[in-house]
Amino acid sequence: MTSSVNGLLSVDFGVTDLKAAAAFYTDVWHLTPVADGKDALYFRGTGPKHHILGLHKRDKGELLRVNLSAQDEADVDALHAAVVKSGVSTVEQPAAITEPGGGYGFAFRDPEGRNMRIIAGGLRHADRADKPDHPRKISHCVLNSVDRDVAVDFYRNTLGFKLSDRTGIMSFIRADRDHHCIALVKSTVTTLHHVAFEMPSLDDVMRGGGRMRDNGYPIEWGVGRHGPGNNVFSYFLGPDGMVIEYTAEVDQVDDSYPTGDPEKWAWPKGRNDRWGVNDGPSKRMAEAEKRITFPADIFHPA
Ligand SMILES: [Fe+2]
């Protein structure tokens, strides 16, 4: 296989109160509104990507779509052929993207019915300097998977992801230098586990955590430092109970990275991270990870 996905662009969330969710992601989470559509709003981070989050008015909280990037239109076409060949049930034809940001791409549902899209090109911002306490981009998206091995095989063999690490329940896969931009979790349901937004530094993760607490959003897990990826983390429940994370300092890896197995990443009793200063995920967070589903067909904005 020669063509690969080369990164994670953005996620589209369905939210029940578009105005309230927009206010949250702007004023509290520190993203910046950049475009709108019918019953939809798009937000950028400080990085170059046109937007990293799309919010769409829906009757319930949903993960509507995960948007991935490819190098160029030829790679989009080759990835489209690979997805068709893999036999997944729903694949659209590559075409010009008419939503804000543009580009050329196609949507499909992965082997467990998740809505995904691969896009090449599109708008990028020239102003891309870090701003203290403001997310740069989506760092990773973690997805619960009923058949983790089938899902991981698809992402590796069809989309060209590489396996960075595997624990007893999680597989961390990468598409660029970030240790992972997707992780699949062995579960009884196919849902959104969480989405992580990358902050410039640990200090910004801490400041973001303080601001979330000030606004009535307690830390549900953290602050801590993960094993695989070595990133620092702090988890919260955002609008419609979606689990969102501030993270920083994720390992930058290349093909020399030795893929770890579950034995390497087993924690001593009582530990859930490298630092050992938090109590582990809250019950609320454990429940929330299993609630947010994907739509039952290819997502199209209103
Ligand atoms: Fe995470």
CATH of the domain at 88: 3.10.180.10
Same domain for 146 and 113: no
- CB-based contact 271:173 (threshold 8 Å): no
> Side chain identity at 182, as an amino acid letter?
I
Residue 48 lies in a domain: yes
Span from the CA of 10 to the centroid of ligand 1 (angstroms):
15
Which domain-ending residue is among 92, 120, 148?
Answer: 120
Which domain-ending residue is among 76, 95, 120?
Answer: 120
At residue 163's C-alpha, the angle toward residues 134 and 219, to 5°, is: 35
What is residue 2's predicted lDDT score, i.e. its pLDDT? 77
Average of pLDDT values for 7-24? 98
Span from the CA of 69 to the centroid of ligand 1 (angstroms):
20
Is 259's pLDDT higher than 60?
Answer: yes
Span from the CA of 298 to the centroid of ligand 1 (angstroms):
26
What H or E segment, with its residue span, contains residue 174?
A: strand 170-174
Span from the CA of 171 to the centroid of ligand 1 (angstroms):
12
Same domain for 279 and 170: yes
- Average pLDDT of the residues of the chain: 97
- CB-based contact 118:73 (threshold 8 Å): no
% of the chain residues with pLDDT over 70: 100
Average of pLDDT values for 115-126? 98
Same domain for 220 and 81: no
What does 35-103 look like in DSSP terms, one character per residue? EEETTEEEEE-SSSBS-SEEEEE-SS-EEEEEEEEESSHHHHHHHHHHHHHHT-S-BPPPEE--STT--
Same domain for 205 and 76: no
Tell me the helix, strand and coil percentages in the chain, rounded to 5: 20, 35, 45
pLDDT in tens, 171-217: 999 999 999 999 999 999 999 999 999 999 999 999 999 999 999 99
% of the chain residues with pLDDT over 90: 98
Same domain for 147 and 283: yes
Span from the CA of 229 to the centroid of ligand 1 (angstroms):
9
> Side chain identity at 16, as an amino acid letter?
T
Same domain for 101 and 183: no
DSSP 239: G
Domain that holds residue 229: 137-288
Span from the CA of 243 to the centroid of ligand 1 (angstroms):
10
What is residue 53's predicted lDDT score, i.e. its pLDDT? 98
Span from the CA of 274 to the centroid of ligand 1 (angstroms):
14
What is residue 210's predicted lDDT score, i.e. its pLDDT? 98
Span from the CA of 85 to the centroid of ligand 1 (angstroms):
31
Question: Going by DSSP bridges, is the β-strand pair 62-70/5-15 parallel, antiparallel, or unpaired?
Answer: antiparallel
Is 113's pLDDT higher than 60?
Answer: yes
Residue 195 lies in a domain: yes
Give the full edge-to-edge strand order of the sheet including 32-37: 32-37, 40-44, 53-57, 5-15, 62-70, 115-120, 104-109, 95-96
Same domain for 256 and 148: yes
Which domain-ending residue is among 120, 145, 170?
Answer: 120
Same domain for 283 and 150: yes
Average of pLDDT values for 34-63? 98
> Of 169, 51, 152, which Cα lies nearest the Cα of 99?
51
Is 275's pLDDT higher than 80?
Answer: yes
Task: Tell me, yes or no, if the pTM score tops 0.95.
Answer: yes
Average of pLDDT values for 272-298? 96
Span from the CA of 194 to the centroid of ligand 1 (angstroms):
7
Is 1's pLDDT higher than 90?
Answer: no
CA-CA distance, 183 to 217, in Å (whole number)? Answer: 25
Name the domain count of the chain: 2
Same domain for 276 and 158: yes
Residue 212 lies in a domain: yes
Give residues with Cβ within 8 angstroms of 75, minimum separation 6: 3, 4, 6, 120
DSSP 214: H
